[in-house]
A and B are shown apart, each in its own frame.
Chain A
Amino acid sequence: MTISSSPPDPSSLWKPNRKASKYVQRVVVWIFGAFALVSVATTFGIIMSLMLETINFFKTVPIWRFLTDTQWTPLFSNPQYGILVLFSATFLTAIIAISVALPLGLFSAIYLSEYAPPQLRKWLKPALEILAGVPTVVFGYFALLLVTPFLQFFIPNLGGFNALSAGLVLGVSITPLVASLSEDAIYAVPESLQKGAYALGCTKREAIVGVILPSALSGIVASCILAISRALGETMIVTLAAGQNPNLTLNPLVPIMTMTAYIVQVSLGDTPAGSIAFLSIFAVGMTLFIITLIFNIFSFWFVRTFREKYE
């Protein structure tokens, strides 16, 4: 800056370092881009780690025996790995769970969105979120130590471990998921449809059952599918309350072992890496991953295909 009688040249006060700003931005974009790629790497990592060990597993146990055997006896001298045994158990608990969660969750969503006064709603929603946030190990405790003894009061031949109690509690644990996703779907229905229903002489229930729920159907079905997928992959409740007995049965009163419970059982033991039992948890994990992936894709596809476009 030169000293002169005239005021200083204003441009000398401005020294934007545009090059540096651009450089900083470029570095930031690269770092953040790498962070975004972590999610892609996670998917890749999941698929790779499941696949490699699953392939090793199938080198010893032929895949068709895995899919068709009706026994799960990894500790026998002549071990059999019939995934149907674990799958039926997983399926059974999930079915029980969704038959609790669908009515409870859907009716809760209807109450919250259509009936609850705004003041009450402000309290009910966080309360349901607390229910959603209860760790599953706590639900497991509840199922094993309170619900099962309670049910044994009515069903004397109910086992200490059983699919019924695990499934019921699992259902309660996924109810908030069904409720909140269904409520979102109900909210997305334009108010004009509700008004249209009332203008035809509908009562409130008729407007809800006849117009609002059918209009929200794609979202409700999607919430239901996602809830089933969550129930299939849930671990602690079924491990604690449903037992560790690989039974091929759909009887909800006896102990069973789900896919997730098997993975926990092997993980808790001292199974050497590379042994066939160790490899088997990856094969079971792969099966579970594929099943839940199919459910998720189906739910995604369902919403895409059946969502009504309202202008």
Chain B
Amino acid sequence: MTTSNPQSFERESSWNIDQATFLKALRQRYTFDKVFATLALLAVVFSLFVLAVLLIDVFIDGIGRVNWSFLTSFPSRRPAEAGLVSALVGTVWVMVLVALITFPVGVGAGVFLEEFISDNWFARAIEINISNLAAVPSIIYGLLGLQVFVRVMFPITQGRSILSGALTLSLLVLPIVIIATRESLRAVPGSIRQAGFALGATRWQVVREHVLPLAMPGVLTGVILALSRAIGETAPLITIGALTYIPFLPELSLKGLQSPFTVLPIQIFNWVSRPQADFYSLAAGGIIVLMVVLLLMNATAIYLRNRFQK
């Protein structure tokens, strides 16, 4: 079989399509390719554009408000005098507590599931349970906190207190810490464990001395991501009844844990939902403060992860 035209790849074929038609169609196919690639790029660009517009809009609306007195004043009915010190302090209290609760509990649960129980039905059941919990709407955790921490555990928490809020948010973000812990433990090579066992160490000694230190950057990343989720949560705290007007700071003692509280997102929500436009710029100022804290936390997480991956 020879071709009449050596410059083309054409040959006889049962396909009733000739070379010219094929090439014409091919040009069209490439046009579709370009459109497709452009759409894909546009999707990313659009998402990031929205993010940029959001940040710029908030910045323009709120930067004029962010000053020392805004950070140190209590909320007020008069927009000009209002500040967010009680929300800021409340957020710090709640975040510290959430960190103190989720770190040991989350890491302990992760170590237990990954290192101490083999792949039996119990481990699988807990695993399915955790992945399901991660998808439960946060407001449902608020209802849980309202019943269990605010009402049943009233003698300990004194109701709608910092402690109730922190416990509620801890349960909410615990799955994040457990999953992150398990993933980082899984990334530690098995040979490290075997080397430890070969020296006669118990499983716990091996985990404590060799495995956990190697997994720690990943674990810390998980904890920070969990905290950055918790810091922005509003709905569950509204549900357990965090107040929006707190003209005092909690006492710096164990008693302070039982004090009523507010946090940044709730203060922002309160300002946004007021009908008077004057409060909107306060909300924007609050968002700037919240986003700065959040970005710092995320930057730390990304930094830790990049170091971890090397």
Contacts and interface: CB of A to CB of B under 8 A. Distances in A.
Contact of A24 (B30, B111, B204): B204
A26 to B, nearest CB: 9
Contact of B47 (A16, A49, A128, A293): A128
Contacts of A50: 140, 143-144
A29 B116 contact: yes
A175 B106 CA distance: 28
A174 to B, nearest CB: 11
Nearest to B150: A273
Contact of A29 (B130, B135, B137, B204): B204
A129 B298 contact: yes
Interface string B221-235: 000000011011111
B105 A235 contact: no
Interface in B284-300: 284, 287, 290-291, 294-295, 298
Interface of B (DSSP majority class) = helix
B303 to A, nearest CB: 11
Interface string A7-48: 000000000100001101100110111011011101101100
B147 A267 contact: no
B137 A42 contact: no
B140 A267 contact: no
B148 interface: yes
Interface in B114-162: 116, 126, 128-133, 135-144, 146-148, 151
Interface of B: 29-30, 32-33, 36-37, 39-44, 46-48, 50-51, 53-54, 57-58, 61, 104-106, 108-109, 111-113, 116, 126, 128-133, 135-144, 146-148, 151, 171, 174-175, 178, 200, 202-205, 228-229, 231-235, 238-241, 265, 268-269, 272-273, 280, 283-284, 287, 290-291, 294-295, 298, 302
Given A136-B232, A139-B54, A172-B47, 12 more contacts: A35-B109, A39-B130, A39-B175, A40-B126, A40-B129, A46-B143, A53-B147, A108-B47, A128-B44, A240-B269, A285-B139, A296-B135
Interface of A: 16, 21-22, 24-25, 28-29, 31-33, 35-36, 38-40, 42-43, 45-46, 49-50, 52-53, 103-108, 110-112, 114-116, 124, 126-131, 133-142, 144-146, 172, 175-176, 179, 203-206, 208-209, 226, 229-230, 232-236, 239-240, 260, 263-264, 267-268, 273, 281-282, 285, 288-289, 292-293, 296-297, 300
30 contacts: A35-B106, A38-B171, A39-B133, A45-B144, A104-B43, A107-B39, A108-B40, A115-B37, A124-B44, A131-B51, A133-B228, A134-B54, A136-B234, A136-B235, A137-B268, A137-B269, A137-B272, A139-B54, A140-B269, A140-B272, A145-B57, A172-B50, A206-B33, A233-B137, A233-B140, A235-B234, A267-B238, A267-B241, A288-B139, A293-B132
